[in-house]
């Protein structure tokens, strides 16, 4: 075998090992979730579904799931409206403070979530607002907005503006151009931006830990509290459900939108 | 403004969000300059005491530890992320491409708690790795991986790998494979053509990936909290502990401000240090 073949074999081995590293925790948790006993053991001596039943019946997980759905639905929808509108303005218009607003809205990509969470907590306290859903939703909107903004902005860049010009020159008023040309053409970008925002919001943990209370805690916060207090495999069972649901959602997103294009890792051509 | 029909309607919600974020950060900043009144949630008068207290060895150590963990995590992630990103972009088999993409990206969406818990199950004393090594007779006592830097960094590399691969792949996908072919047709071996063509041309992705991995690691909370278990503390853990265990929100705020300044300083430093590199790849 020549040196090129050897290099190729080494490369494939490295990639396979890395993929194994990425998959390892998920596989191990999958095994642990079906262990019949409460103490970790590999391989398990007996198998059981009972931790799934226990996890599904656990009140904090149920409440966390419900709260998470409320927060995610509100936050990702608000972020989509705000982000898409601003992305449109960024792409179509030039105006003062355009780059400033964009810079501030993209900042949560590098500002630690615990700082943002602490900020919203202090802000709510100073304004005398209760630690209710509104604070949690506001915090999540800010955290997922950069992803929506980017996703919609990329779609707008790839949109041929001549469609809009054609509609306008045929006499369509601006509102009509927006609703019957721009928005339908943007639909894939809008849906994938919303999906991204929803997945990220549902999983957000650090900032949520600061801004949620016992009443509003989301699923990741409930899971964190569980891990700190108990060691039984219920948490493994929840993790398995989480991993399966997320992978399924991503596979669907990949089939419909082409994940590679959304993430900008392959050419749009 | 005839040609900007929706300007106000489309920009004002975003401006409001930007204002909310600035207000939240200003609240942190303002609290960092206030005195702590034990037993009270309301802060006292203006003071610099919080920032002076930050120079105590205990806190300085946490900052150094955090920087060290962030740097090792970012570099390890780069080392194992590059081959994956390269394979993702250059493979011609669509099935392998989708498989790599989904396997690598899924952890990004899982959230910190699920990933951290998974690593506890892998690294714990009766966890997966120790069980396998004991069964194989390679070790006699379980290896201590929980509550160590090694454990925390391993889990953090897993957390930052997806975003690193995405950024590297975006950069590599913009390099025309013809450049590599040209180098090789002129007699360069595959290693030489990689080192002199592909690697330098992907520098923007490397810089973006390393800085993002650094910032994300700095932001990590559940991983150092649960896997570090009090033995490995990062700034995030200290902030939470001060806020929710001692209700010393002014000091928690000053730690956050110092952390923010540090993050931006490191990011600016990386940008400045790598500017000559970017100039090379600009054309």
Annotated domain spans of chain A:
51-262
Q: Is A214 exposed, middle or buried (0-12, 13-18, 19+ CB in 10 A)?
A: exposed
**Residue (of A268, A89, A253) closest to A178 by Cα position:** A89
Q: Which of B5, B18, B243 has its CB closest to that of A105?
A: B18
> B166 and A265: CB-CB below 8 Å?
yes
Task: Give yes or no for residue B104 having a pLDDT over 80.
Answer: yes
Contact B44/A at CB under 8 A: no
- Mean pLDDT rounded to a whole number for chain B: 86
- The set of residues, in sequence order, having a beta carbon less than 8 Å from that of B51 and lying 6+ positions away, is B32, B254, B258
Structure-block tokens of residue B40? 């009270």
**Residue (of B268, B246, B281) closest to B175 by Cα position:** B281
Contact B41/A at CB under 8 A: yes
Q: Which residue of A has its CA nearest to B100?
A: A19
CB pairs under 8 A between A and B: 272
Spatial separation of the C-alpha atoms in residues B219 and B237, rounded to whole Å: 10
Give residue A267's pLDDT.
43
Spatial separation of the C-alpha atoms in residues B223 and A190, rounded to whole Å: 32
CB A95, CB B11: distance < 8 Å: yes
Give residue A269's pLDDT.
33
Contact A222/B at CB under 8 A: no
Which residues of chain A from 146 to 165 reach within 8 Å of chain B, CB to CB? Answer: none
Which residues of chain A from 161 to 190 reach within 8 Å of chain B, CB to CB? Answer: 174-175, 178
- The set of residues, in sequence order, having a beta carbon less than 8 Å from that of B209 and lying 6+ positions away, is B77, B78, B81, B163, B164, B167, B168
Residues of chain A found within 8 Å of residue B97, distances taken between Cβ atoms:
260
Domains and CATH numbers, chain B: 48-281 (1.10.3720.10)
Residues of chain B found within 8 Å of residue A25, distances taken between Cβ atoms:
115, 118-119, 121-122, 158
> B27 and A25: CB-CB below 8 Å?
no
CATH code given to domain A51-262: 1.10.3720.10
Spatial separation of the C-alpha atoms in residues B89 and B83, rounded to whole Å: 10
Lowest mean pLDDT among A32-36, B25-29, B278-282: B278-282
Contact B256/A at CB under 8 A: yes
Question: pTM above 0.90?
Answer: no
Task: Give yes or no for residue B158 having a pLDDT over 60.
Answer: yes
Q: Could you identify the residue written with the tokens 């994300």? A: B216
Q: Which of A101, A123, A141 has its CB closest to that of B27?
A: A123
Structure-block tokens of residue B97? 């491409």
Give residue A210's pLDDT.
92
Spatial separation of the C-alpha atoms in residues B108 and B165, rounded to whole Å: 11
Contact B270/A at CB under 8 A: no
- Mean pLDDT rounded to a whole number for chain A: 86
Each residue of B48-97: pLDDT tens digit?
888 888 888 888 889 999 999 999 999 999 999 999 999 998 888 888 88
Residues of chain B found within 8 Å of residue A175, distances taken between Cβ atoms:
5
> Which of B9, B13, B24 to mutate to probe the A interface, most A CBs <10 Å?
B24
Residues of chain B found within 8 Å of residue A113, distances taken between Cβ atoms:
219, 221
Structure-block tokens of residue A53? 């039943």
ipTM for the complex shown: 0.87
Residues of chain B found within 8 Å of residue A11, distances taken between Cβ atoms:
83, 86-87
Structure-block tokens of residue B161? 């790998």
Spatial separation of the C-alpha atoms in residues A151 and A197, rounded to whole Å: 10
Contact B212/A at CB under 8 A: yes
Strand partners, B46: B34
- Element spanning B46, H or E: none
Percentage helix, strand, coil for chain A under 3-state DSSP, each rounded to 5 = 75, 0, 20
- The set of residues, in sequence order, having a beta carbon less than 8 Å from that of B115 and lying 6+ positions away, is A25, B107, B155, B158, B159, B223
How close is the nearest chain A Cα to the Cα of B110, in Å? 6
Lowest mean pLDDT among A38-42, A178-182, B34-38, B205-209: A38-42
Contact A246/B at CB under 8 A: yes
Structure-block tokens of residue A83? 């982000």
pLDDT interval class at B257 (50, 70, 90): very high
CB A265, CB B166: distance < 8 Å: yes
End-to-end CA distance of chain A: 37
Q: Which of B21, B158, B267 has its CB closest to that of A22?
A: B158
End-to-end CA distance of chain B: 39
Residues of chain A found within 8 Å of residue B98, distances taken between Cβ atoms:
254, 259
Give residue A18's pLDDT.
92
Q: Which of B14, B158, B191 has its CB closest to that of A25?
A: B158
pLDDT interval class at A172 (50, 70, 90): confident
Each residue of B189-231: pLDDT tens digit?
778 888 888 888 888 889 889 988 998 899 899 999 999 888 8
Contact B166/A at CB under 8 A: yes
Q: How many residues does chain A have?
A: 269
Give residue A159's pLDDT.
82
Q: Residue range B34-55: average pLDDT?
A: 81
CB B229, CB B222: distance < 8 Å: no
Give residue B279's pLDDT.
62
Q: Which of A28, A206, A247 has its CB closest to that of B128?
A: A28
Contact B153/A at CB under 8 A: no
How close is the nearest chain A Cα to the Cα of B276, in Å? 23
Give residue A121's pLDDT.
93
How close is the nearest chain B Cα to the Cα of A25, in Å? 5
Q: Which of A175, A227, A254 has its CB closest to that of B117?
A: A227
Q: Within 13 Å of residue A207, how many CA atoms lie on the same side as its CB?
A: 27
Could you say which DSSP state residue B106 is in?
A: G
Task: Give yes or no for residue A207 having a pLDDT over 60.
Answer: yes
**Residue (of A138, A60, A57) closest to B20 by Cα position:** A138
Torsion sign over Cα A255, B107, A152, A190: positive
Q: Which of A7, A22, A236 has its CB closest to that of B103?
A: A22
Q: Residue range A91-103: average pLDDT?
A: 87
How close is the nearest chain A Cα to the Cα of B5, in Å? 7
């Amino acid at each position: 075998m020549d040196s090129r073949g050897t290099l190729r074999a080494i490369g494939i081995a490295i990639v396979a090992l890395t993929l194994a590293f990425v998959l390892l925790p998920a596989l191990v948790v999958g095994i642990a979730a079906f262990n019949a006993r409460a103490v970790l053991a590999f391989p398990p001596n007996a198998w059981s579904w009972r931790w799934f039943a226990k996890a599904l019946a656990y009140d904090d997980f149920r409440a966390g799931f419900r709260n998470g759905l409320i927060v995610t639905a509100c936050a990702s929808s608000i972020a989509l409206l705000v982000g898409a509108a601003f992305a449109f303005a960024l792409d179509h218009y030039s105006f003062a403070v355009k780059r400033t607003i964009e810079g501030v809205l993209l900042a949560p990509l590098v500002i630690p979530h615990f700082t943002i969470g602490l900020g919203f907590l202090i802000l709510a306290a100073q304004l005398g607002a209760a630690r209710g859903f509104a604070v949690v939703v506001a915090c999540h909107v800010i955290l997922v907005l950069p992803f929506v903004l980017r996703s919609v902005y990329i779609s707008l860049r790839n949109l041929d503006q001549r469609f809009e010009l054609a509609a306008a020159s045929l006499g369509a008023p601006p509102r009509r151009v927006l609703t019957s040309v721009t928005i339908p053409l943007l639909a894939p970008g809008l849906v994938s931006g919303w999906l991204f925002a929803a997945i990220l919001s549902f999983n957000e943990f650090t900032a949520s830990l600061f801004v949620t209370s016992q009443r509003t805690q989301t699923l990741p916060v409930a899971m964190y509290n569980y891990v700190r207090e108990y060691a039984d495999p219920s948490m493994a069972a929840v993790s398995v459900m989480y991993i399966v649901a997320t992978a399924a959602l991503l596979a669907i997103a990949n089939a419909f939108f082409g994940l590679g294009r959304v993430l900008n890792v392959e050419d749009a051509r | 403004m005839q040609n900007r029909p929706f300007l106000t309607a489309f920009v004002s919600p975003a401006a409001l969000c930007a204002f909310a974020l600035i207000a939240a950060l200003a609240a942190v900043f303002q609290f960092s300059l206030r005195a702590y009144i034990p037993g009270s949630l309301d802060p006292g008068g203006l003071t610099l005491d919080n920032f002076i207290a930050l120079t105590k060895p205990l806190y300085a150590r946490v900052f150094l530890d955090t920087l060290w963990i962030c740097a090792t995590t970012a570099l390890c992630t780069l080392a194992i992320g590059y081959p994956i990103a390269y394979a993702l972009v250059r493979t011609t088999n669509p099935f392998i491409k989708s498989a790599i993409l989904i396997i690598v990206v899924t952890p990004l969406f899982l959230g910190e708690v699920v990933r951290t818990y998974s690593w506890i199950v892998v690294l714990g004393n009766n966890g997966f790795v120790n069980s396998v090594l004991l069964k194989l007779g390679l070790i006699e006592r379980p290896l201590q991986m929980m509550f160590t830097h090694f454990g925390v960094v391993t889990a953090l590399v897993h957390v930052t790998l997806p975003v690193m691969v995405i950024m590297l792949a975006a950069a590599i996908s913009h390099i025309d494979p013809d450049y590599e072919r040209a180098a090789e047709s002129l007699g360069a071996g595959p290693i030489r053509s990689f080192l002199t063509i592909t690697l330098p041309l992907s520098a923007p992705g490397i810089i973006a990936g390393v800085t993002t991995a650094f910032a994300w690691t700095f932001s990590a909370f559940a991983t150092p909290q649960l896997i570090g278990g009090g033995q490995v503390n990062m700034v995030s853990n200290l902030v939470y502990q001060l806020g929710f265990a001692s209700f010393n929100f002014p000091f928690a705020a000053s730690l956050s401000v110092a952390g923010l300044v540090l993050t931006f300083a490191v990011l600016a430093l990386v940008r400045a240090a790598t500017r000559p590199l970017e100039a090379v790849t600009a054309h």
